[in-house]
């Protein structure tokens, strides 16, 4: 399997373990030879319509992906969050778990993006227009 480049815009959801709430987010990733950098933007489910922004950094090794998300807000309740997941074979979905170590809290997440060729074709059409 060829290495997947994760650079791009991803749409995602995360959930809290045992709770029915799902939080949507948008992630912008830059993949530089397996080193991941980027940011996320999401609505705070408890303080709507407040939005939260975070930076992320991590690694991609084959289909295994791990990164840490750190919220930019200066709030003692917004601790770093560790994400670990597996990339689908076609590189369009990333699914796994997230965890805050103290106090212990965890859940699941799913991120997706359009197939690479479709996204590249769309960009090409926009450039030609």
Domains, the chain, ranges and CATH? 8-128 (2.40.128.120)
pLDDT at 46: 65
CB distance 33 to 51 below 8 Å: no
pLDDT at 64: 97
- Closest to 87 measured CA to CA, from 114, 115, 55, 60: 60
pLDDT at 119: 47
pTM: 0.82
pLDDT tier at 102, thresholds 50, 70, 90? confident
- Report pLDDT digits (tens) over 33-70: 999 999 999 986 666 667 889 999 999 999 999 999 99
Element (H, E) at 50: none
- 3-class DSSP assignment, residue 38: strand
123 has pLDDT over 70: no
- 3-class DSSP assignment, residue 128: helix
- Report pLDDT digits (tens) over 13-24: 999 876 667 889
């Amino acid at each position: 399997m060829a290495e997947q480049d994760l650079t791009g815009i991803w749409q995602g959801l995360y959930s809290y373990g045992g709770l029915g709430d799902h939080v949507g987010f948008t992630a912008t990733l830059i993949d530089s030879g397996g080193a991941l950098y980027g940011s996320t933007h999401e609505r705070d489910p408890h303080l709507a319509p407040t939005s939260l922004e975070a930076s992320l950094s991590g690694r991609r090794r084959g289909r295994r992906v791990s990164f840490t998300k750190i919220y930019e807000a200066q709030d003692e309740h917004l601790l770093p969050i560790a994400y670990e997941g597996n990339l689908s074979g076609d590189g369009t979905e990333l699914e796994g778990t997230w965890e805050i170590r103290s106090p212990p809290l965890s859940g699941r997440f799913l991120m997706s993006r359009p197939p690479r060729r479709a996204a590249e074709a769309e960009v090409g059409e926009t450039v030609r227009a």
